[in-house]
Amino acid sequence: MYSSLQYQDAAGEIIAAVRESDGVFDILEPGHANWEDVKAGAYGEILAHVLEPITEDMVRAEGARRLALLVAEYSDRERETWGQQIAEAAAFTADNTAVVPILSGVAAGRGVGVSDIAALVEQKSTEYAQASGQILGAQSALLRLDPIPQDYDADSHWLPETTDTGAA
């Protein structure tokens, strides 16, 4: 005895089915040798499930969620100083006699030099820009797809692919 779960798009077209027999599952898609039998109901009762289309708003909300995670450990008030910190770091890097009140205060509090804090701010700024760019690029790529995949929120769509070079 088979049981099946049929997936339809919003227009009611069958786009996939999962068939189970004695604990073994088969994924059937258009082009499968038994596809017409699946559509005809030859494998027992088919439970229909309509997949709702993924909207632009859903993808943008996932992008916003991921962007928020990048800065979650920092308070709103601290983040409000980031623009000034970046400007001060650039000014100090260009001229180590520049007046940099935020960086000077942070450096004094940590017991390190202003040059250390300026380098850290520049590093974190670059890392944030790269991570934000990755998220925004992934969001743009997803929004160009038609249809947008049901698993749009999976990390595989948002994280960069890495290549193992074999280097130790």
Say what angle helices 101-110 and 114-144 make with each other, to 10 degrees. 110
The reported pLDDT for the residue numbered 32 is: 72
The answer to whether 85 touches 43, Cβ cutoff 8 Å, is no
pLDDT 10s digits, 97-152:
999 999 999 999 999 999 999 999 999 999 999 999 999 999 999 999 999 998 99
Residue 72, beta-bridge partner list = none
- Binned at pLDDT 50, 70 and 90, residue 94 comes out as very high
Structure tokens at 80: 């409000």
CA 55 from centre of chain: 15
CA 144 from centre of chain: 15
Say what angle helices 82-94 and 101-110 make with each other, to 10 degrees. 90
Q: Could you say which DSSP state residue 143 is in?
A: H
Q: Per-residue pLDDT for 25 more than 90?
A: no
Burial classification of residue 98, based on how many CB atoms lie within 10 Å of its CB (0-12 exposed, 13-18 middle, 19 or more buried)? middle
Q: Which residue has the higher pLDDT, 159 or 37?
A: 159
- pTM of this prediction exceeds 0.85: no
The reported pLDDT for the residue numbered 9 is: 62
Q: Per-residue pLDDT for 154 more than 60?
A: yes
The reported pLDDT for the residue numbered 39 is: 67
* Distance of alpha carbon 107 from alpha carbon 116, whole angstroms: 8
The long-range contacts involving 96-100, CB below 8 angstroms and separated by at least 24 positions, are none
The reported pLDDT for the residue numbered 113 is: 98
pLDDT 10s digits, 29-86:
777 777 677 667 665 555 555 567 899 999 999 999 999 999 999 999 999 999 999 9
* Distance of alpha carbon 81 from alpha carbon 106, whole angstroms: 12
